[in-house]
């Protein structure tokens, strides 16, 4: 008899604990208990909503959360398992909490999966706010990819851009591979001075792409049940449903290799005297001249060598896949919005009327529509739609609502960038939203770059690097190519219905396009001649 009762209770527990709406309502109802001031918890999600459903719905949970916000309001408190989430869907609240109160809103939650099982809490992305290495990481990265490193990295970006255009011209059907290779090539040269010779056989490139791919698809918040129900971690590896152990083991190994191997490679090159200038090479040289050298410990944070190993890996992990997603979206959008493409091309043709050079980052001021197009490409399908989770380190009260210490806070970047009060007609792709007032006679809509890179002390340190790289890439592509929809056997435009996938970084699914060299720009390529005519992918 008692066994059947236990089974019923267990089922009841599972049902209740997987209904965030129910749990959050119950907590909200008894919210008075949480804080002496009488403040209640923020409202829960609408009745009937479930995270499991949200995940099922094409995996684009950000849209589901935005839908919930329409009913429950832009600040929601959701509980499932042992995790409490604060979901923010408005720019004002994100700014009030994540930016203005960033002192207490900038920690990272440590999850069972990535913290305990994989051991990634040492990495830049997951390092706690109060760890002394956090400040060291941010400084190392800011010096490398912030404003002061600009001259160095712009040179690399422009050289790799030439290579990218050349690959597209020679093999347009491989454009998706070329996009990935270009992004990886820039970061690998900046970080390690490593040049990819043949992307199809480069083992180092393959390894880090595999790492980033796994992180992007498997690392989104709420993905692993073990994070909500920690007891699951004790399941033996052979137990049905315990395959998360296998992923954890593999990802831990990949993580260790990513931090160690490229750094060792740079050391070898330095010994041989063949090292190219790079972040790691500069750091190693700097340490050689310091008293205690590479073994010096930074206030209990690990040796300086370990720290910049992690910082260099973060450049790759943070920078490569994100810029890939934007450039992929750009290609897709150009096949769908030919008049927008033509307007940007006309602007570039007008500014560089001699057609004897490609656009550079210095041209941004003179190409406002093209820059607005870059911004709209980052608004329309935001790259990291839910940002990365933050963790609140103190109890807080906001507009009469109580937010308990330890809550995981998610800024729904997608919801903010599709808020019709900020961006009227948000599902329309329209770069003119971002044009300056002296061109349109009305103020531009809020700058999407203020949201797309996240918030507060955790905001993306690679934002400047990313925008410069994207402007150079996108303006140069527009200058020399027309990007057109694919044709079927009868020469008719093929219907395309391309969705953006889920995961931490959201990419469009695979698609086709035609990449056609534009007349008049051949002179810019010294090394290779653009052929005239249509290249069908
Ligand atoms: C389109 C390009 C990019 C987008 C949309 C993007 C977006 C983001 C977002 C949303 C975050 C989380 C911020 C938060 O927690 O509030 C982040 C963090 C980060 N990004 Fe980026 N990023 C991009 C490119 C880059 C590049 C090029 C680099 C480096 C070269 C980079 C390095 C990082 C690092 C290291 C962090 C972790 C910061 C921390 O935890 O303190 N990102 N990025």
Q: Residue 219: which CATH number?
A: 1.10.630.10
Q: Is ligand 1 within 6 A of the CB of residue 459?
A: yes
Given this model, what pLDDT does residue 511 score?
94
Q: Is ligand 1 within 6 A of the CB of residue 326?
A: yes
Per the CB < 8 A criterion, the answer to whether 169 and 522 are in contact is: no
| Parallel, antiparallel or unpaired: strands 83-88 and 408-411 | parallel
Given this model, what pLDDT does residue 534 score?
39
Q: Let me know if residue 76 belongs to a domain.
A: no
What element of type H or E holds 324? Answer: helix 304-336
Domain with 470, as residue range(s), is 106-380+429-536
Given this model, what pLDDT does residue 531 score?
44
Given this model, what pLDDT does residue 382 score?
82
The token pair that represents 81 in the structure block: 């398992």
Q: Is ligand 1 within 6 A of the CB of residue 134?
A: no
Q: Is ligand 1 within 6 A of the CB of residue 348?
A: no
Substitution candidate for ligand 1 out of 383, 390, 453 with most atoms within 8 A of CB: 453
Given this model, what pLDDT does residue 54 score?
60
Given this model, what pLDDT does residue 530 score?
45
Q: Let me know if residue 25 belongs to a domain.
A: no
Q: Let me know if residue 374 belongs to a domain.
A: yes
Q: Let me know if residue 224 belongs to a domain.
A: yes
Half-sphere exposure for 422 (CA within 13 Å, toward CB):
18
Q: Let me know if residue 93 belongs to a domain.
A: no
What spacing in Å lies between the alpha carbon of 26 and ligand 1's midpoint?
A: 36
Q: Let me know if residue 408 belongs to a domain.
A: no
What spacing in Å lies between the alpha carbon of 176 and ligand 1's midpoint?
A: 22
Given this model, what pLDDT does residue 51 score?
64
Q: Is ligand 1 within 6 A of the CB of residue 323?
A: yes
Atom of ligand 1 nearest to the CA of 383: 5
**Complete DSSP assignment for 246-303:** HHHHHHHHHHHHHHHHHHHHHHHHHHHT-PPS-HHHHHHHHHHHSTTGGG-B-TTS-B
What spacing in Å lies between the alpha carbon of 157 and ligand 1's midpoint?
A: 18
Is 513 marked as binding a ligand? no
Radius of gyration of the chain (CA): 25
- Identify the bridge partners of residue 483 per DSSP, sorted by sequence position: 515
C-beta neighbour count of 164 within 10 angstroms: 24
Half-sphere exposure for 241 (CA within 13 Å, toward CB):
7
What spacing in Å lies between the alpha carbon of 459 and ligand 1's midpoint?
A: 7
Given this model, what pLDDT does residue 495 score?
85
Substitution candidate for ligand 1 out of 149, 318, 504 with most atoms within 8 A of CB: 318
- Identify the bridge partners of residue 391 per DSSP, sorted by sequence position: 107, 408
**Taking Cα atoms as reference points, which of 90, 79, 81 lies closest to residue 29?**
79
Given this model, what pLDDT does residue 315 score?
93
Half-sphere exposure for 418 (CA within 13 Å, toward CB):
21
Q: Let me know if residue 397 belongs to a domain.
A: no
Q: Let me know if residue 207 belongs to a domain.
A: yes
196-251 pLDDT tens trace: 988 888 988 888 888 877 777 776 666 777 887 788 888 877 777 777 888 888 88
Positions of the chain with pLDDT under 50: 18, 20-21, 31-33, 293-294, 300, 530-537
What spacing in Å lies between the alpha carbon of 256 and ligand 1's midpoint?
A: 21
What spacing in Å lies between the alpha carbon of 100 and ligand 1's midpoint?
A: 19
Question: How many structural domains is the chain composed of?
Answer: 1
Atom of ligand 1 nearest to the CA of 469: 27
Q: Is ligand 1 within 6 A of the CB of residue 383?
A: yes
């Amino acid at each position: 008899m008692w066994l059947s009762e236990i089974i019923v209770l267990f089922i009841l527990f599972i049902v209740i604990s997987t209904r965030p709406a129910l749990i959050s309502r119950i907590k909200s109802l008894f919210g008075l208990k949480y804080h002496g001031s009488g403040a209640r918890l923020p409202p829960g999600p609408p009745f009937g909503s479930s995270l499991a459903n949200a995940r099922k719905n094409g995996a684009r949970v950000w849209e589901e959360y935005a839908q919930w916000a329409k009913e429950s309001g832009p600040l929601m408190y959701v509980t499932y398992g042992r995790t409490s989430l604060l979901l923010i869907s408005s720019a004002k609240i994100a700014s009030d909490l994540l930016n203005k109160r960033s002192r207490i809103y900038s920690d990272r939650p440590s999850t069972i999966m990535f913290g305990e099982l994989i051991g990634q809490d040492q990495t830049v992305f997951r390092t706690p706010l109060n760890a002394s290495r956090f400040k060291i990481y941010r400084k190392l990265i800011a010096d490398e990819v912030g404003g002061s490193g600009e001259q160095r990295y712009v040179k690399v970006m422009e050289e790799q851009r030439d290579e990218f255009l050349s690959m597209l011209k020679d093999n347009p059907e491989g454009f998706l591979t070329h996009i990935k290779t270009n992004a990886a090539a820039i970061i690998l040269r900046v970080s390690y001075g490593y040049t990819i010779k043949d992307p199809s056989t480069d083992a180092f490139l393959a390894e880090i792409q595999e790492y980033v791919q796994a992180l992007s698809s498997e690392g989104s918040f709420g993905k692993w049940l073990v994070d909500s129900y920690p007891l699951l971690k004790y399941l033996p590896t052979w137990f049905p449903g315990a395959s998360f152990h296998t992923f954890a083991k593999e990802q831990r190994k990949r993580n260790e290799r990513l931090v160690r191997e490229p750094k060792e490679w740079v050391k070898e090159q330095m010994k041989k005297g063949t090292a190219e200038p790079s972040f790691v090479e500069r750091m190693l040289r700097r340490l050689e001249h310091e008293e205690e050298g590479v073994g010096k410990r930074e206030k209990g944070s690990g040796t300086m060598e370990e720290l910049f190993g992690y910082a260099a890996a973060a450049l790759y992990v943070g920078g490569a896949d994100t810029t890939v997603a934007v450039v992929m979206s750009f290609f897709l959008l150009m096949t769908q919005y030919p008049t927008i493409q033509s307007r940007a091309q006309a602007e570039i043709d007008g500014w560089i009327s001699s057609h004897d050079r490609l656009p550079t980052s210095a041209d941004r001021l003179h190409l406002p529509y093209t820059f607005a197009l870059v911004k709209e490409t980052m608004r329309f399908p935001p790259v990291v739609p839910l940002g990365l989770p933050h963790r609140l380190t103190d109890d807080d009260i906001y507009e009469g609502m109580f937010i308990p210490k330890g809550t995981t806070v998610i800024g729904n970047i997608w919801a903010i960038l599709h808020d019709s009060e900020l961006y009227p007609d948000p599902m329309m792709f329209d770069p003119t939203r971002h044009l300056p007032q002296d061109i349109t006679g009305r103020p531009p809509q809020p700058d999407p770059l203020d949201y797309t890179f996240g918030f507060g002390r955790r905001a993306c340190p690679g934002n400047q690097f990313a925008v410069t790289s994207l402007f150079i890439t996108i303006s140069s592509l527009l200058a020399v190519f027309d990007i057109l929809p694919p044709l079927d056997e009868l020469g008719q435009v093929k219907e395309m219905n391309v969705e953006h996938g889920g995961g931490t970084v959201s990419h469009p699914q695979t698609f086709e396009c035609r990449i056609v060299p534009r007349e008049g720009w051949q002179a810019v390529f010294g090394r290779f001649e653009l052929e005239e005519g249509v290249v069908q992918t």
